[in-house]
Amino acid sequence: MTAAHPAEPWRIKMVEPIRTTTRAERESTLRAAAYNPCLLRAEDVYIDPLTDSGTNTVSDRRWSAMFRGDESYCGASSFYRLHDTVRA
């Protein structure tokens, strides 16, 4: 740790290995998908500027919110919390 590179103010809770690709692989994959990012396979994407996936880690608060989430399709309590928040 140096003044130019201070320690990050967080702890990483989870890591997931991702596959790096070469420029040639990326170009070939993009051509095969007709340059439509929605047709790319997730495992072929290193950094996803479309969704931000893979560009940050999940905080302990986000993990806890996911575990508290109601996964029902209809009438989910999480929907009503979102609805009330947006209305406010």
Instruction: Output the pLDDT for position 24.
Output: 96
Tokens of 55: 């560009």
For the stretch 49-86, pLDDT in tens is: 776 655 566 777 878 877 877 777 778 887 888 899 99
Instruction: Output the pLDDT for position 33.
Output: 94
Distance, CA of 73 to CA of 45 (rounded, Å): 29
54-61: list long-range contacts, CB under 8 Å, 24+ apart.
54/18, 57/10, 57/12, 57/13, 57/14, 58/13, 58/14, 59/10, 59/13, 60/13
Does this model's pTM top 0.85? no
What sign results for the dihedral spanned by CA atoms 2, 61, 54, 86? Answer: negative
For the stretch 23-47, pLDDT in tens is: 999 999 999 999 998 888 888 888 7
